[in-house]
Amino acid sequence: MRPPPFLSAGAIATLATLGAVALAQNPQPGAPGTPSSPAASALPPAPPPSTSPGSAPTSVPAQPPFASPPSPGAAPPQGPPPASAPPTGTQSPAPGASPPTAPPGYGPPPGGPPPAPQAPVYGPPGYAQPGYPPPYYSSPYAAPPVPAVPLDAHSHTGFFLRMGIGAGYIANATTLEGPTFQGQVDAAGGAFTLELDIGGALSPGIILAGSYTVHSVGNAKLTNDTRSYRPAHDPSLTMLAAMLDVYPDPKAGFHFGGALGFASFRVREDTDAQASSAGQSGFGLAPHVGYEWWVSNYWGIGVLGRFIFARTQGDYAADGKEKDTVTGAAILFSATYN
């Protein structure tokens, strides 16, 4: 029988060798001492496997019995059964054998240790990591914060009001002229003082105000009295003037200035109408200096020293004239709104 065309000469020789070995190990039942077929007895025995000096002998696996080539049109022979699947459990390698390694390019086998954590990377010492500030979104409808202290607080600007009360000393020299009452008299004594100033700031720290002051003396001491008629003589000086007050530092308390204006001098005498003073008018000057302390955003309290000078003249009794010169000083406690 002619072998199939797809078998080469080498394949045919290999199959013949394998069949001879199989027949030698497992003879077919038949006549004793007779080969099962002439072809099988004619095949030479397979050579033994060669081994190199110093190497362990290699066992030759059992070969299946030789089978004759299939006839044309017959089904191809079935191969050996597939080997059984390896056990699922982990097998320890043989002593001295190297452990199995994973194929290159693939991750570690399942069940292996987790990858080692990577250490964080920091910049050079002394330098912070670059970053960006968080975004800021301002609300277009948010009202600006209300300042705790108004912008014009503790500043001598705007409306100005000062009230003062104190005490001082007033002295005046009076000269009487006329056919009925003639002579001179000097009066001096402690005075009660009141002050009221109302105005505003021309610029920060510069105040212009109207000033009204009263200096009244009670039980004045009389000297150099050469009058022909000598009633009581208690003077009172009133001033209505324009006052200029200057604060070198608009937010501080030190200030100085003065008042210049109309002055009225009047003497309260006894009940004799003929000897009463109708009042004399003239001008007066009152410079001052003081210091204040803030007690709120706009109010301050302080101390004020004032000097007084006035010249007045007018009628005395029915046919006489009176001329007065007034000097004095006063210390006032003040309350200022500015």
Of 127-136, 227-236, 319-328, the one with minimum mean pLDDT is 127-136
Nearest-angstrom CA–CA distance, 316 and 322: 6
Of 83-87, 152-156, 172-176, 196-200, the one with minimum mean pLDDT is 83-87
Given pLDDT bands bounded at 50, 70 and 90, which one contains residue 273?
very low
Determine the pLDDT at residue 8: 58
Give the pTM.
0.54
DSSP state of 64: P
Given pLDDT bands bounded at 50, 70 and 90, which one contains residue 41?
very low
Determine the pLDDT at residue 237: 92
Determine the pLDDT at residue 55: 47
Determine the pLDDT at residue 220: 84
Determine the pLDDT at residue 218: 81
pLDDT over 50 at 23, yes or no: yes
Across the range 196-213, mean pLDDT stands at 95
Mean of all residue pLDDT scores within the chain: 74
Which domains, ranges and CATH numbers included, belong to the chain?
A: 159-337 (2.40.160)
**What is the per-residue pLDDT across 74-103, written as a single tens digit (0 to 9) for each?**
555 555 555 555 555 455 556 666 666 655
Determine the pLDDT at residue 221: 85
Distances (CA, A) of 43 to 68, 210, 286: 13, 152, 157
pLDDT over 50 at 224, yes or no: yes
More confident: 86 or 21: 21
More confident: 11 or 57: 11
Spatial contact of 161 and 198, defined as CB atoms under 8 Å apart: yes
**Residue 250: which residues within 8 A CB-CB, separation 6 or more?**
155, 156, 157, 204, 205
Burial 95-133 (b: 16+ CB within 10 A, else e): eeeeeeeeeeeeeeeeeeeeeeeeeeeeeeeeeeeeeee
Q: For residue 308, list its beta bridge partners.
A: 328
Determine the pLDDT at residue 184: 84
More confident: 204 or 14: 204
Count Cβ atoms within 10 A of the Cβ of residue 336 and give its class: 0-12 exposed, 13-18 middle, 19 or more buried. buried
Across the range 38-62, mean pLDDT stands at 49
pLDDT over 60 at 190, yes or no: yes
| Structure-block tokens of residue 246 | 């200057």
pLDDT over 90 at 64, yes or no: no
State what percent of residues in the chain have pLDDT above 70: 55
Sign of CA dihedral 22, 25, 30, 35: positive
Determine the pLDDT at residue 162: 97
Across the range 152-178, mean pLDDT stands at 91
Determine the pLDDT at residue 251: 92
| Structure-block tokens of residue 326 | 């007034």
Determine the pLDDT at residue 325: 93
pLDDT over 80 at 254, yes or no: yes
Determine the pLDDT at residue 262: 96
pLDDT over 90 at 166, yes or no: yes
